[in-house]
Amino acid sequence: MAEIGFYHLTRTGVEQALPALLGRTLEAGRRAVLRCGDAQRVKAVDEALWRATDPVWLPHGSAAMGHGPLQPIWLTAGEDVPNGATYLFLIDGVNCPDAGAFERVFDLFDGGDPEAVEAARRRWTSAREAGHALVYWRQQAKGWTRGGR
């Protein structure tokens, strides 16, 4: 079973929150796959990660760039994991039928969107029923605060 963290974005958008989380992933010596809602979103996240300033550099790729097995961070609109990632990042309300294949799952959702919050609650319930370890994180002015389980 995976540890699934639900990241309630209250202060920034996904593009601003991802660099720090992905940077810590790479610092921990892990590889990540980031699943987006569609190909357009993959492109937008790709551009945002290249512009990130903290950390200064987040090596990543997607099907458009190729070389999947070499990419520390893989961006996709599908369920492919060509880089052997053990960390999975979900945005855009993407569901994860294969969470158990990962060590950790990061489910980021927009706290300003009532529909996104409700969908995250449904994903939480489904993940709990599947037996995963769940953690709730709420974005603060600086960093994250861990909430109840």
Tokens found for residue 22: 């992905």
pLDDT at 85: 98
> Taking the complete model, does pTM exceed 0.75, yes or no?
yes
**What would the pLDDT profile of 49-71 be if each residue is shown by its tens digit?**
999 999 989 999 999 999 999 99
Calpha distance 89→106 (Å, rounded): 5
Whether residue 149 has pLDDT greater than 60: no
Calpha distance 93→18 (Å, rounded): 15
Give the mean model confidence (pLDDT) for residues 10-24: 96
Architecture in CATH of 3-147: 3-Layer(aba) Sandwich (3.40)
Domains of the chain, by residue range, sit at: 3-147
Beta bridge partners of 8: 109, 138
